[in-house]
């Protein structure tokens, strides 16, 4: 049995906006598959997570990585000085991993992201990438770019996968 996940509208709206600028044809195609028209969505309402994946699944893995980076960039603009609130990049990454996601994402039998290890120049985490690991890699790389770090290496290992989840170990290193 597939458990339906839900996400706040702000994520769908942000991806729609970014993809409309980046690849308007794909955005238009994805909008046709929505269960609620994008024009009727609000940032704070809950929507089926498939509305978000309708966009992300239509682009290449590399484009998913770019979207992940752009989502972080857009979020940091809304929270001016986000990187300044943390002394080191690893502190912001740990905050992102350990932050409770139920304010923005909910799913029955939700897999809670785990921090496995960290140091001044790396972090290792275990998470459910929902079949889109490069999107999540882009999110982590986007966080590092807030600190002007662009030389990164991400290693993702899929540990288990079924219709409901894709559990991965992800190690992000930077210089």
Q: Report d(CA 74, CA 115) in Å as an integer.
A: 25
Task: Please give the tally of structural domains in the chain.
Answer: 1
Per-residue pLDDT of the chain (175 residues; tens, 9 = 90+): 345 788 889 989 999 998 999 899 999 999 999 999 999 999 999 999 889 989 999 999 999 999 999 888 877 777 667 778 888 999 989 988 887 666 777 777 767 789 999 999 999 999 988 889 999 999 999 999 989 998 999 999 999 888 778 999 999 999 9
Q: Which two tokens stand for residue 129?
A: 């990438």
Pairing of strands 105-107, 5-8: antiparallel
Structural domain harbouring 163: 5-174
Q: Report d(CA 150, CA 147) in Å as an integer.
A: 9
The CATH number for 153's domain is 3.90.1520.10
DSSP characters over 64-111 = HHHHHHHHHHHHHHHSTTTGGGSSSHHHHHHHHHHS-GGGTEEETTPP
| Among 160, 89, 139, 155, residue whose Cα is nearest residue 118 | 89
């Amino acid at each position: 049995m597939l458990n339906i996940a839900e996400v706040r509208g702000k994520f769908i709206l942000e991806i729609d906006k970014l993809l409309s600028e980046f690849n308007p044809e794909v955005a238009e195609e994805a909008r046709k598959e929505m269960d609620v028209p994008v024009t009727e969505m609000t940032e704070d309402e809950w929507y089926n997570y498939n509305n978000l994946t309708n966009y992300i699944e239509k682009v290449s893995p590399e484009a998913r990585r770019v979207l992940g980076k752009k989502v972080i960039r857009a979020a940091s603009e809304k929270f001016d000085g986000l990187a300044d609130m943390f002394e080191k990049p690893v502190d912001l990454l740990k905050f992102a991993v350990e932050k409770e996601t139920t304010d923005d994402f909910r799913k029955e039998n939700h897999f809670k992201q785990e921090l496995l290890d960290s140091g001044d120049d790396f972090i290792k985490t275990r998470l459910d990438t929902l079949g889109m690991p490069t999107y999540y890699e882009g999110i982590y790389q986007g966080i590092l770019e807030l600190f002007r770090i662009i030389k990164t290496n991400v290693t993702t290992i899929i540990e288990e996968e079924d219709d409901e989840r894709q559990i991965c170990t992800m190690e992000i290193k930077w210089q």
